Amino acid sequence: MLNVSIVIPAWNEQERIADCLSNATLQTVTPHEVLVVDNRSTDGTADVVRRFIAEHPHAPVRLLHQDARQGLIPTRNYGLNHATGDVLGRIDADCMLRPNWVEVVGTIFTEDSDAMGATGPVVYYDMPAKHVSLRGDDKVRRFSYRADGGEVLLFGSNMALRATAWRQIADKVCLDEKDVMHEDIDISLHMLGADLKTVYSDCMVCGVSARRMDTSFASFRAYMKRFKNTFDAHPQHWRTHKPEHMLYALYPALRAFYPVYQRYLNSADINPAERIWLKEQFDLMKRTGGDKPLGND
């Protein structure tokens, strides 16, 4: 099976990066490498990563620094350019990978030699009704997160690229210096423009935070406008469905409920990032004799 690198751009993510690394390394198949690319963090992000590496010497985690430019895109590109795996996974620093994520991703690209990019649904680990939200997200991404009459758009919090495909588009992706686009959709459209196949798998599951809903409406609206801005930058591509319309409809209720639920989690001393895949992780450790170190098969 093809091996999988995981690239994690990070800026001021000290609160979640250790949980992210725990989930990325406690996998049914060990990732080839996990690259955290710190981008001028002013908090303790880099120190947390160094501490994780020291406490888990067998985990294939490396800390890189991208200090030349502030921003997600140059940091993402730096990580993807330095990754050495056959397949390059890309997630955010607050993402919690399901324990079979690396295995699923490696299998997708091994079994489908034409697949150049892959993505899947997400579940919001810091919100209730997780099974319901996962089914809903799967439905939305399966049917509406598409372009050019049905081609799959990749989601930056849960995506992977064949290394050869990334090298083909690496010097063509938009740098978006005004920071007005969705960088994952930009990658997707560059891939479609190069006739590189993108696929969707409902087995490729990642936990993400719903913290985007805990922002002002002005900030949320600017984020939603990124969909249109990205397609405007690629006029040769088109879409039928606009997922931002559904997100606008959900925003008022989620904006009101999210901070209330966070207060409940805090009062109950619950870390949702730790607990999202707890059952699967226990099952994995049972299958491996109850003593599976992070970073070992």
Q: Identify the bridge partners of residue 160 per DSSP, sorted by sequence position.
A: 89, 118
pLDDT bracket for residue 186 (50, 70, 90):
very high
- Give the tokens for residue 79: 């990580």
Phi-psi region of 176 (alpha: psi -120 to 50; beta: other; left: phi over 0): left
Q: What is the DSSP letter of 125?
A: T
Which pairing describes strands 115-119 and 159-162: parallel, antiparallel, or unpaired? antiparallel
| Alpha-carbon span 101 to 224, nearest angstrom | 28
- Cβ contacts of 79 within 8 Å, gap of 6 or more: 7, 8, 9, 35, 37, 64, 66, 90
Instruction: Over range 109-135, report the average pLDDT.
Output: 96
Instruction: Over range 163-174, report the average pLDDT.
Output: 98
Given a contact cutoff of 8 angstroms between Cβ atoms, the answer to whether 33 and 6 are in contact is yes
Q: What is the pLDDT of residue 25?
A: 97
Residue range 110-122, pLDDT digits in tens: 999 999 999 999 9
How many C-beta atoms lie closer than 10 Å to residue 104's C-beta? Answer: 22
pLDDT bracket for residue 286 (50, 70, 90):
confident
pLDDT bracket for residue 287 (50, 70, 90):
confident
Instruction: Over range 225-248, report the average pLDDT.
Output: 96
CA distances 94 to 36, 82, 175, 206, Å, are: 12, 21, 23, 10
Beta strand residue intervals within the chain, DSSP E: 4-10, 33-38, 61-65, 87-90, 96-97, 115-119, 122-124, 146-147, 151-152, 159-162, 197-200, 206-208
Q: What is the pLDDT of residue 15?
A: 96
Domains of the chain: 4-286 (3.90.550.10)
Examine the pLDDT at 297 and tell me if it is beyond 50.
no
